[in-house]
Structure 1
Amino acid sequence: MVKIAPSLLSADFSCLREEIRKLEEAGADLLHLDVMDGHFVPNISFGLPVIESICRNTNLPVNIHLMIYNSAFYAPRFWAIARPGDIITIHTKAELASVSLFRYLSQKGLHLGVAYNPDERELPHLEEIYPFIDEVLIMSVYPGFGAQAYIDGSEEMVRRACELREKLGARYEVAVDGGINERTGRIVREAGADILVAGNYIFKHKGSYREAIDSLRE
């Protein structure tokens, strides 16, 4: 069954602990945390202290999605507050020496994901990186802000990631992030997605969080 990862970027920050509790009760499989530095993307969000607090207040795994430059410096610091089962996801576009970086971080014991923007349709470096990663994150919007519309055709990147996984004998899961709702969730599920990241659709749903999460699985 597909996993649902609510993106806390769309949550009510004034009561984040309560939001996490409601997501746990609603059947969320993991939490997605977008870390932005104001340089790689034109926005700023969670930092180390907030994520450390989130990790202390949930038993759900978290995916710490680094939309930042200088991941070689920051990833080990986020990993120091992460727990078994948590993943650090890095954009290849943010790192010039991406293959060597993934190898280096993997050797330090980090569980890693790689993220691709909508214009990286050929999934560069994946055939070299795959031994070091647990997840491929397909961005179906350009990163930086929530509540964006799904970019049509993103499902082709999902298919390619799944085809490469089979060809390479890889073990990574394929996640999709951006504009995910009941309709687009079905499209990417049919393309092979294992994890759906959804923010606005869950937190602004007219029903309950459980109804929103369940609808993404149907």
Structure 2
Amino acid sequence: MSQKEYLWNPAPVYSLPVRGSDARLPVKRIFCVGRNYHAHAIEMDRPVDKATMRPFYFLKDPSTLVESGASVPYPTGTTNYHYEMELVVAIGIPGFRVPADEAHTLIYGYAAGLDMTRRDLQLVAREQGRPWDLGKNFEKSAVCSEIVPADALGVLDAGAIQLEVNGQIKQSSDLQLLIWNIREIIADLSQFYHLEPGDLIYTGTPEGVGAVKSGDRISGHIDRVGEVALTIGAAE
């Protein structure tokens, strides 16, 4: 069979380092959970009632992925560029319509992540009932640390999550305050998608989100998972 020819080079495989391994984890899709801590939902003027609501999601393209420690330019089109510190779950085996009590079996590992957001554009879209893509799914907006295999950690039902900007604490919470926990998120998402190895799930951010500017340094920490860091460069 002859080799396929393309008009231009296909997109590269986006991947992340794995702690304790020379192999890298190839990223397939990036799912993000919206408003998954009560205090953040209130902060965004959109309270959540778990009894009557279910999780909602938005996606970031794998090309938005940035490894921890990078410096990224202040993005175009915004004057209100926000950080959101999140636990990231990496899927390791396929799953579809998975019950919550089995959902943890799909997990390959965890990471610390930043869901960088053009907040002004997101809020305009929200108020107009439009998709959030311009506010969320833009270049260099999904920052992620190395992946820590889950067999060393089990299921993370609790653990401190914190973010600092220039050494000042801005976000400080605990994974036990997730409205929908890891098992529930995976189970619910698998009702709508065939989850695949390499899918990442950003599980939501605590309260304390805020704006950064050129020159700022962001550093985040999740107990037993690790650190994530990002420097904000000059605008392009």
Q: Given the two structures, how large is their TM-score scaled by the length of structure 2?
A: 0.24
Structure with higher Rg: it is: 2
- Name the structure, 1 or 2, with higher relative contact order (CA <8 Å, separation 6+): 2
